[in-house]
Structure 1
């Protein structure tokens, strides 16, 4: 299975980010391109511990989180189209500099080369191993690139 911690996988994702046309339309979901890029950069910052995030698992996640995580990363199947987004990652802004957001996302993807965030706790899945983080980060990025046909 693909992981964000593999250099060739990161390079593939970066190539796909660069390939997104500035006028790309979502194949599903409610986000436009700018919102997706902002969502993904915000999510990457959170995963990597940038901007001092507060990590806390929601109560329902304490009950179903580990089961949901196992289901999501057990194979190479892409993330389902209808998976809900946590409130902090729902982006209200609808416009901005697409190229700037893409460049920042690429920078964040590259930074997985030196990833270290032992404090990370996913808001639904809870505490995760670095292997699980690598698989989930890849699948999340792949999901949104697929959403915009890249």
Structure 2
């Protein structure tokens, strides 16, 4: 799996993001393109410690640990996977604003590429720097594919 910390993957994601426009339509799922751009900001905000999520109970943490590696392994996610309730976007969003914010978050995350210690993810626990980079790439790749880029 590529990592958002690598220059090639970072450039690729930004280039693909620039191919999305306000008329892009989803090949699957319920979000429109503006909602997808807002949704993609959340995992980056968690990594950057700009968004605090409530830590789930022990049962849910145990359940989440069973599929933790799917967040950063090489196996693509299937279209239409359920979304964490904290990351669901149903309100209308302004395309250019959300795209600009997402681009800023991607750049901010990439700038952390030399960081060696990361706080634990509130739902999944510890990740290495490599896993954080792969996880962010995989999420963005999934949603850019959702909109045909």
TM-score by length of structure 2 reads: 0.86
Of 96, 101, 104, 1:99 maps to 96
Q: What runs of 5+ residues in structure 2 fail to find an aligned partner? A: none
Cα distance per residue 1:101-148 (max 9 Å; x no partner)? 11221111111233257224142x222222111111100000000011
Matched, 1:84 2:82: yes
Matched, 1:34 2:34: yes
Matched, 1:17 2:17: yes
Runs of 4+ in 1 over 3 A off after TM superposition: 57-61
Aligned residue runs from structure 1 range 104-123, under 5 A: 104-115=101-112, 116=115, 118-123=118-123
Alpha-carbon distance in structure 1 between the residues aligned to 2:106 and 2:145: 16
The alignment's C-alpha RMSD in Å is 2.0
Give the length in aligned residue pairs. Answer: 146
Alpha-carbon distance in structure 2 between the residues aligned to 1:9 and 1:102: 18
Q: What runs of 5+ residues in structure 1 fail to find an aligned partner? A: none
